[in-house]
Amino acid sequence: MSSHASAPVPAASRLSPALKGRVRVPGDKSVSHRALIFGTLAVGETHITGLLEGEDVLNTGRACAALGATVERLGEGEWRVNGVGVGGLTEPAGPLDFGNAGTGSRLMMGMVAGNPITVTFDGDASLRRRPMRRILDPLEKMGVQVIEAAEGGRLPLTLKGPRELVPITYESPVASAQIKSAVLLAGLGAPGETVLIEAEASRDHTERMLTHFGAQVSVEPYGAHGRKVTLKGRPELKPAPIHVPADPSSAAFPIVAALIVPGSEIVVEGVMTNPLRTGLFITLKEMGAEIAYENARVEGGENVADIRVKYSGRLRAVEVPPERAPSMIDEYPVLAVAAAFAEGTTRMRGLSELRVKESDRLLAVSKGLDAAGVVNRIEGDDLLVEGAGSAAGGGTVETHMDHRIAMSFLVLGLATAKPLNVDDVSFIATSFPSFLPLMRGMGAVIEAAL
Ligand SMILES: O=C(O)C1=C[C@@H](OP(=O)(O)O)[C@@H](O)[C@H](O)C1
Ligand SMILES: C=C(OP(=O)(O)O)C(=O)O
């Protein structure tokens, strides 16, 4: 089963004039999934504004409805969820289809754990390849039964929640907000305290939203870069309004575009600047990019700012340390694009998690750079990109059902000598449905049958 079985849509981007304008990218994908999930777990009505209406999030909304919540669209980005409470989910009539979304599927495995119901999780060919054992391991420790799963614990898989969930202390084997969130969401349904330890801090939107909805959660530092999160189970979550700020992972594309197309100057408005999400902006500044936060403010419990970016001449190559990976995990493909135009060799260290995203992003980026004529190599879990200040273009990039690969290479083609072709841009709709009109509105030349 696939929610996205349509024909591939090829595209090409070409050398573009200076990019200009003030733009607003859609709502943050991580916060949007969580807004619908927490709205479902609260008793009463949660009002959401700025929700990302991308396919990943819409699939989460449909899954919440299938579990008993009333999920309604009131207007553009404006949604209302009438929740059923922690432990109040009903068994869905059929399998839940999460399409392309790791976040939706993994968080909702945790969410259903505290309910004595049987639920089947499925997704598209990309999601069916991704590892789910990392979620099943802690959930099994809590008493969840894996009734059925594809080889290696992959989708499609069926879970059955126990009558009484056991709270656990779990040390996550990888820095992953999805593992952390699945354990904490399951912990809501367990009596007593559920503790999650991560050696490297990952994005903290779940912890923030738990507090926002009235759960008791405490966060302490753990080791040099880690955190220990303790949650008191079985709270009554109270509905709370949510305003979703603009997604820094989407803002990354126009920002890098402005840094590689000479003469550009743009502002991206209302971007979330949560420090656990801004590794890319820090790295670009280290490379010499002129990036300024203007009108910094707090909106809906998150820091946001308007981000002004000016073409800054040739960027400098840098070494990106492995401990920065969690705060810029989805941004490495587009950082590789910036690195292609920098002076010297950029080394991005510790990228093993990139191999288990919508595609093997380490390989997909390396092959895409090859197609664009950019010298690069993979050494262990590191990616090295030799910046030449220019790139030939001309080839075709394979996107492997991966929205970020598609958007990153469309950005690269805005500054290559020959146009750069991308085999399929349809998956951009999972996270950034307005990408093409937004980029074209700033002056980007992108040809696609969309
Ligand atoms: O929790 C989240 O919303 C996300 C966590 C990250 O995944 P991992 O937890 O697998 O690192 C990230 O890559 C994904 O896009 C969104
Ligand atoms: C990895 C991503 O998302 P997910 O894990 O939700 O599929 C992403 O959006 O880059």
Tokens found for residue 301: 């419990």
Number of separate domains in the chain: 2
| CA–CA separation, 326 and 203 (whole Å) | 7
| CA–CA separation, 373 and 181 (whole Å) | 40
Task: Give the residue, out of 33, 38, 59, 103, with the most ligand 1 atoms within 8 A of its beta carbon, to mutate for a pocket test.
Answer: 103
211 and 79 in a common domain? yes
pLDDT in tens, 428-440: 999 999 999 999 9
What's the 148 CA to ligand 2 centre distance in angstroms?
Answer: 24
Assess if residue 231 is contained within a domain. Answer: yes
Assess if residue 60 is contained within a domain. Answer: yes
Q: Is 239 exposed, middle or buried (0-12, 13-18, 19+ CB in 10 A)?
A: buried
87 and 233 in a common domain? yes
Name the pLDDT band for 5 (thresholds 50, 70, 90): low
Q: Calculate helix-pair angle for 279-286, 332-340, nearest 10 degrees.
A: 10
**145 marked among binding-site residues:** no
Domain of 148 in residue numbering reads as: 29-243
Task: Give the residue, out of 33, 174, 358, with the most ligand 2 atoms within 8 A of its beta carbon, to mutate for a pocket test.
Answer: 358
263 and 119 in a common domain? no
Assess if residue 205 is contained within a domain. Answer: yes
Assess if residue 392 is contained within a domain. Answer: yes
**208 marked among binding-site residues:** no
pLDDT at 1: 36
Q: Which residues are catalytic?
A: 330
Give the CATH number of the domain where residue 86 resides. 3.65.10.10
**Residue 248: CA count within 13 A, CB half-sphere:** 24
**Residue 277: nearest ligand to its CA?**
1
261 and 209 in a common domain? no
Assess if residue 348 is contained within a domain. Answer: yes
pLDDT at 2: 40
Nearest atom, ligand 2, residue 101 CA: 7
Nearest atom, ligand 1, residue 203 CA: 1
Nearest atom, ligand 2, residue 178 CA: 5
Alpha helices in 287-427 (DSSP H): 332-340, 361-371, 403-412
Question: Which are the contacts of 49, defined by CB distance < 8 A and separation ≥ 6?
Answer: 77, 78, 241, 242, 243, 244
pLDDT in tens, 69-104: 999 999 999 999 999 999 999 999 999 999 999 999
pLDDT in tens, 244-266: 999 999 999 999 999 999 999 99
56 and 20 in a common domain? no
pLDDT at 168: 98
Q: Which residues pair with 307 in a beta bridge?
A: 268, 293
pLDDT over 70 (residue 42):
yes
Q: Say whether 167 sits in a helix, a strand or coil.
A: coil
291 and 159 in a common domain? no
Question: Which are the contacts of 351, defined by CB distance < 8 A and separation ≥ 6?
Answer: 325, 332, 361, 362, 381, 382, 383
Assess if residue 430 is contained within a domain. Answer: yes
Assess if residue 5 is contained within a domain. Answer: no
Q: Is 298 exposed, middle or buried (0-12, 13-18, 19+ CB in 10 A)?
A: exposed
What's the 446 CA to ligand 2 centre distance in angstroms?
Answer: 24
| CA–CA separation, 183 and 190 (whole Å) | 10
pLDDT in tens, 356-396: 999 999 999 999 999 999 999 999 999 999 999 899 999 99
Backbone angles phi, psi at 187, to 5 degrees: -60, -25
164 and 278 in a common domain? no
pLDDT in tens, 326-361: 999 999 999 999 999 999 999 999 999 999 999 999
101 ligand 2 Cβ < 6 A:
yes
Q: What is the pTM of this model?
A: 0.98
**Residue owning the nearest CA to atom 5 of ligand 2:** 102
pLDDT in tens, 190-247: 999 999 999 999 999 999 999 999 999 999 999 999 999 999 999 999 999 999 999 9
pLDDT over 90 (residue 324):
yes
42 and 22 in a common domain? no
Q: How many Cβ atoms from other residues are within 10 Å of residue 95's Cβ?
A: 18
**Residue owning the nearest CA to atom 4 of ligand 2:** 102
425 and 309 in a common domain? yes
Instruction: Among 223, 243, 263, identify where a domain stops.
Output: 243
Q: Is 223 left (phi over 0), alpha (psi -120 to 50) or beta?
A: left
Instruction: Among 243, 261, 281, identify where a domain stops.
Output: 243
**357 marked among binding-site residues:** yes
193 and 303 in a common domain? no
280 and 370 in a common domain? yes
96 and 46 in a common domain? yes
ipTM value of the model?
Answer: 0.99
Instruction: Among 191, 224, 243, identify where a domain stops.
Output: 243
